[in-house]
Amino acid sequence: MRLGLVSLGCDKNTVDSERMLAWLTSRGAEPVSDLSGAEVILVNTCGFIDAAREESIETLLRAAEYKREGSCRSVVAVGCLVEQHGEELRDALPEVDTFIGLRDIDQLVPTLTEDGLLPPPAESGEGGTAHPGDRLPLGRGHVRYLKISEGCSHGCAFCAIPLWRGKHRSFPAGRVIAEARRLEQQGAAEVNLVAQDLAHWGREYRDGSDLTTLLEGLMENTAVPWYRLLYIYSAGLTPNLAELMACEPRLLPYIDMPIQHASDAVLGRMRRPERRDLLRRKVEWLRREVPGLVLRTTVLVGFPGETDVEFRELLDFLEETEFDHLGGFTFSPQQGTRAAAMTDATVPEDVARDRLEEVLELQRGVSADCLGRLEGKECVAIVDGPAGADDPVLEHLYPGGPPPGEHWSGRLAGQAFDIDGSAVLRAEPGFAAEARDLAPGTLVKAVVSQTADFDVACDLVGVVRAAPGSTRERALPVLGMDSVWGR
């Protein structure tokens, strides 16, 4: 079976998709990148906001076209949108052959086997089943995501994730560490820890286990050079965690802490646990405790009842706090949530969009200022791949054309993959030829020479660590990790 897999939505969906890919290839499926040649097209859907739902439906409809124009025999929809709107989708999309929600995802292989799209286990080789922790990378193998828990026990009024994915369940430390080691064996140089709230890991064990003890286990049992924390509520940012982050160079000084809003009134209606003053104090404390800390956040505008005054409170807080990175959304009602019933307090869509644009424009200036402070400083960066002549970041940083030398696309430690901007890494002509084949996942030290909005240009100084699995002798001077963060 030639398999085309399309993964939509968040990084947690990416983890699920990589696991499904391992399941299917262990039973003889052959992944293909060109959907026109796929016999089965599997779409892992997202249902988080209206735009994500629309993208999922459009993707399923495009996939179904290959049943008429290509080799496709079956289109399979799985994931969040199916869990949320399965019956409606079955009625609205007869072009799609199979729908499998989150709670039934373990039925994927049996269903495709029953439909004759996969061979019976006896025909697919010894065992024919992937290890439960096995995953195959969908994209760049040096940047991977590690999901440490499933579900969510928070009661945010706007979020339906607990309805789809259930209450929070921690994955055992042994399983998480074993999966991290498999990612390391597959060449991961950066592992991003993901969950609905990383800080909730281990709470149900009631034995002292928490995120910090899990991280210590990962540091002790793996050699992955970069670990990053994505999505952690402020309440879970403890002194022990800050201390570990301040002294462990492999745990990046980067925290994704979603605040959603900064008006106490809106936070109350959202059923969020934090308040403005608490958030302010938490940010100030984190920056004192963790040298070089980079903070990312997420905000939601247009929540039912949000007034101009409350929106201005958010803007003022963002301007004062200066988060390095920010993602923004407009409110999108989720079926079954408390906020979906607040129809008498709806904020008009055009007002919500205008507010989001104002937030993003403010953040553009804040991010530019934060990056501008790095000019002339040495930073550690990771190589993601070569930068082609048509690379949009290269054109953005050098509108008149790049300076001589070899250029790579990469990121500073404070730039998470695909969401925080990029770094263009340049080797001067004197040693460009020797450094030309720097592999993705190589850690380098570079001097920031120029910044623009969310992106930076850097001049290479030397290699901190070769890419995992690389046997090539280093052409650039090798630098130690002990002073990477100035600790």
pLDDT in tens, 384-428: 988 877 778 877 788 877 777 788 889 999 999 989 989 999 887
CATH 3.40.50.12160 corresponds to the domain 2-123: yes
- Alpha-carbon distance of 476 to 427, in angstroms, equals 10
Q: What is the pTM of this model?
A: 0.85
Q: Are 48 and 84 in contact (CB under 8 A)?
A: no
* pLDDT score for 219: 95
Give the pLDDT band of residue 193 (cuts 50, 70, 90): very high
Superfamily of domain 143-372: tm_1862 like domain (3.80.30.20)
- Alpha-carbon distance of 429 to 260, in angstroms, equals 46
* pLDDT score for 430: 58
Give the pLDDT band of residue 289 (cuts 50, 70, 90): very high
The string over 62-99, giving b where at least 16 C-beta atoms fall within 10 Å of a residue's C-beta and e elsewhere, is ebbebbeebbbbbbbbbbbbbbbbeeebeeebeebbbb
Superfamily of domain 378-465: Nucleic acid-binding proteins (2.40.50.140)
Instruction: Quickly tell me which residue has 């262990």 as its tokens.
Output: 26
Highest mean pLDDT among 99-103, 116-120, 295-299, 424-428: 295-299
Among the ranges given (85-94, 121-130, 276-285, 346-355), the one the predictor scored with the smallest mean pLDDT: 121-130
Query: pLDDT tens digits, residue range 315-334?
Result: 999 999 999 999 999 998 88
* pLDDT score for 469: 64
Instruction: Using a pLDDT cut of 70, give the percent of the chain over it.
Output: 92
Average pLDDT of span 271-278: 93
- Alpha-carbon distance of 228 to 226, in angstroms, equals 7
Give the pLDDT band of residue 431 (cuts 50, 70, 90): low
Q: Are 177 and 218 in contact (CB under 8 A)?
A: yes
Q: Which of 262, 248, 186, 246 is nearest to 217 (CA)?
A: 248
- The per-residue pLDDT of the chain, averaged, comes to 86
Rg over alpha carbons for the chain, rounded to the nearest Å, is 23
Give the pLDDT band of residue 141 (cuts 50, 70, 90): confident
Per the structure block, which two tokens stand in for 101? 């929600």
CA dihedral 373, 295, 411, 400 (to 10 degrees): -50
Per the structure block, which two tokens stand in for 67? 């049943």
* pLDDT score for 127: 39
Give the pLDDT band of residue 129 (cuts 50, 70, 90): very low
Question: For residue 442, what are the CA distances in angstroms to 377, 387, 438?
Answer: 20, 15, 7
* pLDDT score for 122: 63
At residue 10's C-alpha, the angle toward residues 89 and 341, to 5°, is 55
Higher pLDDT: 282 or 101? It is: 282
Question: Any idea where the domains of the chain sit in the sequence?
Answer: 2-123, 143-372, 378-465
* DSSP structural state of residue 467: P
Question: For residue 348, what are the CA distances in angstroms to 311, 318, 331, 345?
Answer: 14, 23, 10, 9
Phi-psi region of 326 (alpha: psi -120 to 50; beta: other; left: phi over 0): beta
* pLDDT score for 432: 52
Q: Are 48 and 12 in contact (CB under 8 A)?
A: no
Among the ranges given (51-55, 90-94, 295-299), the one the predictor scored with the smallest mean pLDDT: 51-55
- Alpha-carbon distance of 475 to 430, in angstroms, equals 12
The string over 116-147, giving b where at least 16 C-beta atoms fall within 10 Å of a residue's C-beta and e elsewhere, is ebbeeeeebeeebebeebbbbbbebbbbbbbb
Indicate if the pLDDT at residue 245 is higher than 50.
Answer: yes
Give the pLDDT band of residue 246 (cuts 50, 70, 90): very high
- Alpha-carbon distance of 101 to 28, in angstroms, equals 23
* pLDDT score for 261: 96
Give the pLDDT band of residue 435 (cuts 50, 70, 90): low
CA of residue 315 relative to chain centroid, distance? 25
Residue 14 burial class via C-beta count within 10 angstroms: exposed 0-12, middle 13-18, buried 19 and up: buried
